[in-house]
Structure 1
C-alpha cells in the first residue's frame, strides 16, 4: 500500500494548481514587480502591494481633515505614486486595480476631491473597485484639506485648479494599461463639491479623457462660492453680536421653513421638492414688545434680518450678482457648524489668505469686502472659476455629463447648478431636448451637501458609501452604473433613483426627475414609495 500512497502524494505535489490559484499568484507577482516594471515621466513609485478584500489599511501620515484609514472592498493591487508637476509642486496618486477588472468591463474610474482639495477619496475608490473599476485618486497637489500649502506657491494652486486632476488621470491610465494584459475600454469620473467642480473642469477643458462624468454639487462659479462663505460670516457675525443666532435659534428657523413650505409639494415630509417656490418669511419668529428668546422662543429684529439676508441672493460692488441665496431648507446641524457657527468658513478664508493674497495675517473678519471678491474674479487663478459654458468639445467627443445637486445643500446653493445648466443651454443655443443628449441635470430633494438629508438622498454618489447600509443597496440603479448604462448601452436616464437610509435601513424611495421635469406627487399612494411620484413638465 505504501507505493500507492507515494504515488498519490507525488500526484498531488506535481498536479497543476487550480486556475484561480495560479491567476491569483500571478496577479500578486505582477503587483509586487510594479515598483520596478512601471515607469512614467517625473514619477516615483512609493508603494506597490497586494491587498486582500476586507483588509483595514491605516494611513501612516493622515493629513488634516482627511481619512485616517480605509477598508478594501476587493482583492486588488495598490500602487502609490508621487508625480512631480513643477520644481515646487507634486501630486500624490493612488491606483487601485482589482483582480476581476477584465471580466467587469475593463473600466477606469477617476475620483475627485472635496473642500480645499488635499484628501484622497478612498471611500469612492474602494467602492469603485467593488464594482470592478480600476480606480484612481489623488491629493490634488497638497496634503490635507487646507490652503496653507498655497502660500507663495502658485504651482500648487495650479495643481488645485486643474493640473493635478489631469496629471493623475493620465499617469493612472498609464499604470492601469501597463498592469493588465488588455487596455482600458471606458473611462469615468465621479466627484462631489470641489470634486464636482473638477468633473466639470474636465468636461470644459479635456473631455477626451472621460466617456462619462458624474458631477455632484459642483463648486462652479468658484469665486461666487468662496464669496458666499465670506459674506455669510459677515451677515451672521460672531457669537455675542446682535446679528448672531445660536444653534437652537437656527433649529427654530429650520422648523419655520418647514411650517411655511413643506406642504407646497403636497406631502408633509420635511422635504421641499421645489425650493424655488419657497420664500420663507422669518418675520413670523419676530419677538413682540417685552418678549425674548428665553421667554418666547422668538428672534430680535436684527436676527430676523440676518435670516432674511441668508435666504436672499448676494450682490457686490455696483449691484453685481455674486451668488444665489442659500437653500431655504438646510440640515441645521451641518449648516450651523459650517456656515452659521460664528467662525468664518475655513475654505473661504484659506483661499483668500493663502492663494489670492499670500498674506497669512489676512482675515475675513477684518479684511473681507466686495473689493476682495472683485480681485478674486479678476485674477481667476489658473481658471479655477470653472464657469465655461461652451461644452462643444464634450458634445463632439460624445462625453456624457450627469450633474446632480441636493436641494437642501447647506454649503453650495443648488441654484448654482440650475444657473450653470441654463447658462450652458443658452450659450450653446440648445434647448433641453438637445442638451440632454449629452448633459443632464438631476435636482435631488432632501439631499444635503453631497450626502445625508431628510429625503431620498442616497443615489450611490461620491462620498455616500461611508453611510451605514449603503453597501447593501443594489448598485445597478446608482448614479455610477446609471452613467455606465448611458455610455455603454445608450440608455439615457430620465430619473435617478434615490433612497433614504436611516440606521442602515432604506425607509423611502423616490425616482428624482431630470430637469426641467418636476418630481411630482401623484396625490394618492404612500409617498415613501417611488411609485407614488411621477415626472411632469413644469
Structure 2
C-alpha cells in the first residue's frame, strides 16, 4: 500500500493542499483496486473497469484526462486501408496536455491516447504518426508492414498523439504558431511519453520493463527523433521510411515542381499541366530499362533489384536518336528525369536531399501521384504540389509564407537559409547517438522505390552516425533497404515483414537481425531476405521463390 501512497505524493503539484488531497484520494482508489492485471472473470473485469475509471482522477498541472473506460474485447476501430483485427479487453485513456489558445485565437493542445490491455505483457510502445499528424489515431499499435497482430493484441500498452494540433494530416496551417511547430517537431513526443509512462505505472502498479517506438513516414522521423532527443526513454526503435531530413525533403518537393514544369504543357493561363510531363508509356520504358540493366546483378533476374549499389542506370541511355520518336525519351525528358532522381544540389554540387535509387516503382501510380499527379488542368494535385508545397510554406519557411510561389526564380542556397530554423528542431538527422547506443537498439528501413524518401540520404546519415558514435553505433543500429517497395509498403516488392518481433528479440534476447525474411502483399508465394546495409541479398541456388535460396553478402 505504501508504494501507491508514495506514487501519489510524488505527483507534480502535490505540494498544494487541494492537489495533495486529490492525489491521496486517487492513491487510495488505485490501492484498493490493484489486484491482478489479467481479468479471467466478470469480477476481475469489474475491478479493471474501476481501476480504469479511477484514472479520471489524475490531477497534474497541464494534464486533462477526458476519457478513461474499459473497452471489452472486439474489433479494431475502422481505419482506412487497415485490416480489421480483434483486440483484447483494455483501458482506453484519452487526454490533452498543455491546452492553450495560440496565434489567430486557434485552440491548441497535445492530444494523446493510451490503451492499456488487462492482459499486459509488461511492454510499452509509442505508435508513430503520419503526414502532418493533427489527429489522435487509435493507439492499437498498427504496424505499417507487419502481417501479424497489432501491438495491443500482443499485450503491449500503446500510446499515440496528434503532435499538438488538430486538423487533416495534410494541413500545415498550424505552422504559423511557434509552440505548435515545437510540439510537432519533438515536444509532443517528450510530453506524451512521460505522461503515458506515469499513467501506465498508476494503472498497473509498476512501470513497463521495456519501451519501444515504432513508426513509418513521419512516424519514422519521430522514431529517429526519439532516439536523438529522448535517448534514455526507449529500449528499441523501428524507423520505417523516415522523413528524417524533413526541411530539406520539403525543399526537394517544391524544387521538383519547378523541374517538372520545364517539360509540362501549359494551359491557357500559362500554368503547367504536370500530369502530362511524362506519359505512362514513358515511365514503363524507364522501368523496363532499369530492370534490364540492374535486375540480374544479384545473380537472378527476378524483378527485384537487390544490388542497388551496383546499379549504374542513367536515363540518357534512353535518349532518342536522330529520327527516332518511339521507345525513347527526348533530351528534355531525360534531363528532367535525371534532375528528379538526383534531387536539388548546391552550386558546389552537394546533395541537399537525394539522390534517389532507380527501381520498378517509377511506373507506379504512387510515383506519378507524388511527382506528377493526375490533374488534366493547370490546377495541380500531385503530392509535391499539395502536401509538399503546403508544409513548405507554413511549416518549413521562417516566417511562414502562405503565398510563396514555387515557380519564381530562386537559389537553393537562399531557401536553405530560410528553412534552417525549423530544420534545427524538426529534422531527425543528428548522427550522435552515444547515449542511446549504450542500451538501445534501432532498426531503420526504407523502400528502394519510395517515391518520397531517399535511400542514399539515409545511408549517408547511417555512415555519419557511425563516425560520430563509433563502434557502439554500429552495434546498436541496422539499416535495411527493401527492393521495389514504395512508401511504407506496396510496389513490386516483398513488403510484409515483422520488425516488432525483430527489435524485441534484439533488445530482450540479444539476437541482432542478420536478415529479416519478407513476403509480398502482391505476389503470393514469394519470399526474400532483407539484408542489413551494406549487405544485399544474392541468389545462391535453389527455389527462386524462396528466401532460403539467397544469402546476405556485400
TM over 0.5: yes
Give the CA deviation at 1:330: 4.8
RMSD: 2.7
Unaligned runs of 5+ in 1: 1-17, 60-65, 460-477
Pairwise CA distance, 1:277:
1.7
* Secondary structure class of the residue paired with 1:90: strand
Q: Distance in 1 between matches of 2:191 and 2:48?
A: 26
Number of the residue aligned with 1:14: none
Aligned residue number for residue 147 of structure 2: none
- Structure 1 residue 337: Cα displacement: 0.2
- Aligned partner of 1:9 in structure 2 is none
Match of 2:156 in 1: 133
**Structure 2: how far apart are the matches of 1:85 and 1:269?**
54
Question: Which of 389, 393, 400 lines up with 1:353 in the alignment?
Answer: 393
The residue number in structure 1 matching 2:505 is: 485
Is 1:501 matched up with 2:492? Answer: no
What is the deviation of 1:420? 0.9
Cα distance 1:500–1:440, how it changes in 2: closer, same or farther (>3 A)?
Answer: same
Could you tell me which residue of structure 2 aligns to residue 77 of structure 1? 91
Mapped partners of 1:304, 1:395: distance in 2: 43
CA 1:515/1:299 → structure 2, altered by over 3 Å: closer, same or farther?
A: closer
1:252 matches 2:285: yes
Task: Give yes or no for contact 2:139–2:158 (8 Å, CA) kept in 1.
Answer: no
Distance in structure 1 (CA, Å) of the matches to 2:407 and 2:138: 35
2:309 maps to 1:276: yes
The corresponding residue for 1:114 is 130
Aligned length: 482
C-alpha separation between the residues in 2 aligned to 1:110 and 1:200? 12
- 1:304 equivalent to 2:334? Answer yes
Write the deviation string for residues 189-225 of structure 1: whole angstroms up to 9, x where unpaired: 0011211111111111211111111111222222221
Residue equivalent to 1:319: 349
Following superposition, the deviation at residue 373 of structure 1 comes to 2.8
TM-score, normalization by structure 1 = 0.83
Relative to structure 2, which stretch is displaced further, 486-495 or 377-386? Answer: 377-386
- Once residues 344 and 430 of structure 2 are traced to their aligned partners in structure 1, the CA distance between those partners, rounded to angstroms, is 21
Structure 1, 66-75 or 343-352: larger mean CA deviation = 66-75
Query: Cα distance 1:389–1:281, how it changes in 2: closer, same or farther (>3 A)?
Result: closer
Contact 1:330 1:409 in 2 (8 A): no
Alignment match of 2:530 (pick from 505, 509, 512): 512
Contact kept? 2:63, 2:95, Cα under 8 Å: yes
Structure 2 residue aligned with 1:393: 435
Q: TM-score, normalised by structure 2?
A: 0.80
Closer/same/farther in 2, CA of residues 52 and 363 from structure 1, 3 Å limit: farther
Distance change >3 Å, CA 329–CA 19, structure 1 → 2:
closer
Partner in structure 2 of residue 405 of structure 1:
446
Contact 2:185–2:425 (Cα < 8 Å) also in 1: yes
Contact 2:127 2:139 survives alignment (8 Å): no
Deviations 1:327-381 (A, max 9, x none): 2115221111012336434333122211223222123233664145322453245
| Kept after mapping to 2: 8 A contact 1:77/1:97 | yes
Partner residue of 1:457?
Answer: 495
Structure 2 CA distance for aligned equivalents of residues 141 and 247 of structure 1 = 40
Separation of aligned partners in 1, 2:477 and 2:42: 44
1:27 equivalenced with 2:27 (yes/no): no
User: Residue 133 of structure 1: CA displacement?
Assistant: 0.3
Residues 329 and 85 from structure 1, CA distance in 2 versus in 1: closer, same or farther, beyond 3 angstroms? farther
CA displacement 1:214-269 (0-9 Å, x = unmatched): 11122222222112212222222284259921344223322222222212222222
Question: Which of 324, 329, 335 is the matching residue for 2:359?
Answer: 329
**Counterpart for residue 363 of structure 1:** 405
1:291–1:298 Cα contact (<8 Å) kept: yes
8 Å CA contact retained: 1:497, 1:511 = yes
Matched residue SS, 1:419: helix
| Secondary structure of the structure 2 residue equivalent to 1:442 | strand
- 1:86 Cα deviation from its structure 2 partner: 5.7
Does the residue aligned with 1:321 lie in a helix, a strand or coil?
coil
Q: What's the secondary structure of 2:449's corresponding residue?
A: coil
Alpha-carbon distance in 1 for matches of 2:348, 2:317? 32
Task: Please report how far the alpha carbon of residue 509 of structure 1 lies from its aligned counterpart in structure 2 after TM superposition.
Answer: 1.6
Matched, 1:263 2:285: no
Q: Distance in 2 between matches of 1:354 and 1:346?
A: 12
Deviation at 1:31, TM superposition (A): 2.5
CA distance in structure 2 between the partners assigned to 1:173 and 1:484 by the alignment: 19
Cα deviations by residue, 1:71-128 (Å, 9 ceiling, x for unpaired): 6622222111111166534111011111211xx2x10000111222334454762511
